[in-house]
Each structure stands twice: as C-alpha cells, then as structure tokens.
Amino acid sequence: MSQQATDAVVVYADYVCPFCYLGYESLDQYQDQREQPVPTDWHPFDLRSRQRRPDGTIDHSVDNGKDEEYYEQAKQNVERLADEYGVEMDEPLKKNVDSYDAQRVAYRVREEHPEQFEQFHRSVFDALWEDDRDIGRQDVLEDLAEAADVPPEVVSETLNDESSAQRLESAFEAAQKQRITGVPTFVYGEHAARGAVPPEQLRRLIEGN
C-alpha cells in the first residue's frame, strides 16, 4: 500500500458496514486513552456497488460472493464485538439500506463545512446502527444535517448535483488505487490495519509500539 506519511489516521469506511461502526467505537476508546486525540480523515468506500439498481434499491440476486453462511458468521462477529466494545446496536446487519446518497452528502460536508463534518459523519452511523433510520432517505439526511449545524439545503443541493456523484465515484476509485479491498481500513503512514480491530492494535498502528 502506498500512502503518504500523515499525522492523521485515514479511515476508509462505508456507513452500511457494521464493522465500520464498531471500528470507530474502537478508535474512540483508543482516543480516550491519549492526552491529545489523533486527527482522523474519512475516505468513502462502496460496499453496495455491484448490487445497486439504477433506482438505488439493492438487488440481492446479484452474486457478491457472500452466502448465508458468511452472513451468519458476520452476524455473530458483530454481536461479539458489540458486546466487547460495550455498544448497543439496533441489529447486527442492514442488508437493505444503501449509503450512496449519505456518502455524497458527507463528502460535500467534508469539503464545504469541515468544522461540522465529524458531527454529521458520526451521526449518520448512529442514525443507522442505533436508531434504525434509513440513511438513504433525503429527509433523514436533512434532519442529521440540521442537528449538526449544516444548512439542510446542502442535502438537496448535493443530491440534485450530478457532479457530487462524480466526485464520490472518483473517491471510490482512489480507494481502489490504494488497494483498499475491505472496510474499515485504518491507515497511518505506511501501515494499515483492517477490520474493527481493538484499541490496542490501533495504538500499535499509530504509536509503533
């Protein structure tokens, strides 16, 4: 993996990934152990790309290489990690929610309202995994934007702007060029950790010991 040295932890994540939600919880627990938090830099990733219909619905008939055994194992792993990290989740998997529009909006917020980005970004995760809200809905995204002090019209402007989709697709392509094949992936300097790894592993990634 080629990644320029940086003082920030680069986090590749998709909102519909339960392990990303749990990975951020692990990162929070690591940050709580530090005197000064390490900056984070979110980069989007698309888990639904091969299953997304033109209308944004999910086509489960598309073979994504994941069978029922995979999902059952993933469910068990999510439940185990949620218990380990002390997190209450509405349910362990969300197969029918698409995060594409949420990522379009988040990417715009990161660019144009950076001071509000982190609150909005994390609220999208919380809305899906704690509150069982459909983050693919415009009205939900507008509620989250307003709560994060982001002008709610940013949501409609973004979703009506085709260039926002083009910028997001470019970000997805950039992740592929960095050889990111799954999420969450945490990158610090030249090293990376994949998965909802425990706080101790994040400490070793960032502090090198």
CATH homologous superfamily of domain 9-207?
A: Glutaredoxin (3.40.30.10)
- Distance, CA of 120 to CA of 95 (rounded, Å): 22
* Residue 4 pLDDT: 42
Task: Please determine, for residue 57, whether its predicted confidence score (pLDDT) is greater than 90.
Answer: no
Q: What is the pLDDT of residues 64-84, one digit of tens each?
A: 888 889 999 999 999 999 999
* Model-wide pTM > 0.75: yes
- E strand residue ranges, 5-148: 9-13, 40-44
3-state secondary structure of 76: helix
Q: What is the pLDDT of residues 110-131, one digit of tens each?
A: 999 999 999 999 999 999 999 9
CB 20 within 8 A of CB 183: yes
The structural domains of the chain, with segments of one domain joined by +, span: 9-207
* Residue 168 pLDDT: 97
Average pLDDT, the chain: 94
Angle, helices 162-177/100-112, rounded to nearest 10 degrees:
90
* Residue 3 pLDDT: 42
Of 13, 32, 133, the residue nearest 141 (C-alpha): 133
Of 97, 116, 99, the residue nearest 154 (C-alpha): 116
